[in-house]
A = this chain, B = another copy of it.
Amino acid sequence: MTPRDEIDRRLEALRSALADDGLDAALIVQHTDLAYFSGTNQQAHLVVPVAGDPVLLVRRVLERARDESPLERIEPLRSLGGLPAALAAAGVESGATIGLELDVLPARLYLAYARRLADHELGDCSQAVRRVRARKSDWELARMRAAAEQVRQGAEAVPGLLRPGSLESHVQLEVERVLRLAGHQGQVRFRGFNQEMHYGQVLAGPSGAVPGYSDSPLCGPGPNPVLGKGPDGHVLEQGDLVIADLVGGHDGWLADQTRTFSLGPVDADLRAAHDCAASILRTVEAEIRPGTPASSLFDLAEGLALAAGLEEHFMGAGPQRVRFLGHGVGMEIDELPILAPGFEEPLEAGNVIAVEPKFVFPGRGAVGIENMYAVTADGFETMTTAPEELIEA
């Protein structure tokens, strides 16, 4: 169970963020946000007034919500019709501006709330929620370290799984098995619309260089065009690059780590690109501390890729490159801050960022390293601890 003081801290931060955004209350309904702010993922509305006590209004299952959440006010709400009265009882009066999670709330539900709450103004609390969730506590960091230990074990298992003739999808299956036996929860969550991934993505040979729908450097062909992401039926051959992007999951908290391997010796230019990824990480690390603008880490990395003559391969190949170096991680893979142009906000202590310099070579594959870092009061902690070297299996 999430400790009471964790929930109190998160809610206090949310109240402050809502006030900054001109909102009088938040009405939280998305599963991850519900779990974060209440401790339970039962079917519920969480009302968080800027001035007043939070109330968890549970449709299903009330007893379980009461077992799992340390909140004091947990009450039944059977239908949306009861929502205006429940809001009034929580001190959210007519005319108040209520923030909804507009980045994830389906439009049809939004329109239903707009009808039900016609006496209120509706706003967007999703940026407030995401800013709060971007600052991790020691309790949260401990869980993310446990998730990182899973992906350390996963990466260490990869070399033993690489044999000519193996299917890349079977290598992925075996790596995911290692993660699960290390305690992985078996699912990972994205916040972004249409986003999904296997938690143990392994791309071998040319698959590493197949671009796709995701706004990230790697995608892969996927098992079919419906999923369109991840490995397909590539059979490992001597000389193949193998890039493993693993996402751990412990108590709902994630860890994101990428390591590169090869089946036998790799070409000198690929190894040089991998060395460049390591050197980008070292240079970026020197700037990870509170106050550094998130976008500046991208600028730094892009400059090093350019200086190495690798700009056509950096974060994708040619026209498929993405202007992006990394992202926040927490209970979802795609949290704040985003390390990309336009995101000028300074890093804060408690941010957890995945920094993932990768280089893509069409027809040949991809190399790169992704580490997850916690921003500390005066620097950083490297949370992903698998060896960074390109390992020739």
Query: Interface residue count for A (Cβ, 8 Å)?
Result: 61
How does the 8 Å CB contact mask read for A156-193 relative to B, with 1 for contact and 0 for none?
Answer: 00000000000001101100010011000111010001
Cα A223 to Cα B188 with chains together (Å): 12
Q: Looking at the complex, which of A27-35, A237-245, A280-288, A292-300 is the stretch in contact with chain B?
A: A27-35
Tell me which residues across on chain B come within 8 A of A41, comparing CB atoms. Answer: 213, 222, 225-228
Cα A213 to Cα B64 with chains together (Å): 9
Q: Looking at the complex, which of A83-91, A97-105, A264-272, A336-344 is the stretch in contact with chain B?
A: A97-105
**Among the interface residues A198, A213, A252, which one has the most CB atoms of the partner chain B within 10 A?**
A213
8 Å CB contact of A211 from B64, B124, B173, B215: B64
In the complex, A68 has a CB within 8 A of chain B: yes
Find out whether the CB atom of B109 lies under 8 angstroms from the CB atom of A110: no
8 Å CB contact of A186 from B30, B223, B228, B251: B223
Find out whether the CB atom of A126 lies under 8 angstroms from the CB atom of B108: yes
Cα A258 to Cα B213 with chains together (Å): 34
Cα A169 to Cα B183 with chains together (Å): 10
**Among the interface residues A177, A196, A227, which one has the most CB atoms of the partner chain B within 10 A?**
A227
Find out whether the CB atom of B225 lies under 8 angstroms from the CB atom of A35: yes
Cα A189 to Cα B227 with chains together (Å): 10
Find out whether the CB atom of A187 lies under 8 angstroms from the CB atom of B251: no
In the complex, A224 has a CB within 8 A of chain B: yes
Tell me which residues across on chain B come within 8 A of A60, comparing CB atoms. Answer: 211-213, 215, 320
Tell me which residues across on chain B come within 8 A of A377, comparing CB atoms. Answer: none
Find out whether the CB atom of A61 lies under 8 angstroms from the CB atom of B212: yes
In the complex, A107 has a CB within 8 A of chain B: yes
The smallest C-beta distance from A302 to any residue of chain B, in angstroms, reads: 20
Q: Chain A interface secondary structure, helix, strand, loop or mixed?
A: loop
Tell me which residues across on chain B come within 8 A of A251, comparing CB atoms. Answer: 224, 226
In the complex, A2 has a CB within 8 A of chain B: yes
Cα A187 to Cα B196 with chains together (Å): 9
If A177-B177, A194-B31, A252-B224 touch, whether A42 touches B106 (CB-CB below 8 Å) is no
A179 to B, closest residue via Cβ: B173
Cα A226 to Cα B330 with chains together (Å): 12
In the complex, A43 has a CB within 8 A of chain B: yes
In the complex, A331 has a CB within 8 A of chain B: yes
The smallest C-beta distance from A191 to any residue of chain B, in angstroms, reads: 10
Find out whether the CB atom of A103 lies under 8 angstroms from the CB atom of B106: yes
In the complex, A208 has a CB within 8 A of chain B: no
Q: Can you list the 10 inter-chain pairs with the closest CB atoms, starting with the nearest?
A: A226-B252, A107-B110, A41-B228, A102-B108, A35-B226, A31-B194, A43-B213, A68-B225, A185-B223, A102-B107
Q: Apart from A106-B193, A107-B110, A186-B230, what are 8 other A-B pairs with CB-CB below 8 Å?
A: A42-B228, A43-B215, A103-B107, A105-B106, A172-B186, A185-B227, A224-B252, A226-B331
Q: Residues of A with Cβ closer than 8 Å to B? A: 1-2, 29-32, 35, 39-43, 60-61, 64, 68, 100, 102-111, 124, 126, 169-170, 172-173, 177, 180-181, 185-187, 189, 193-194, 196, 198, 210-213, 215, 222-228, 230, 251-252, 320, 331
Mind listing 24 A-B residue pairs with CB under 8 Å?
Answer: A1-B225, A41-B222, A41-B225, A41-B227, A41-B228, A42-B228, A60-B213, A60-B320, A61-B320, A64-B210, A64-B212, A68-B225, A100-B107, A103-B108, A104-B106, A105-B193, A106-B107, A106-B193, A107-B107, A186-B198, A224-B251, A224-B252, A226-B252, A227-B252
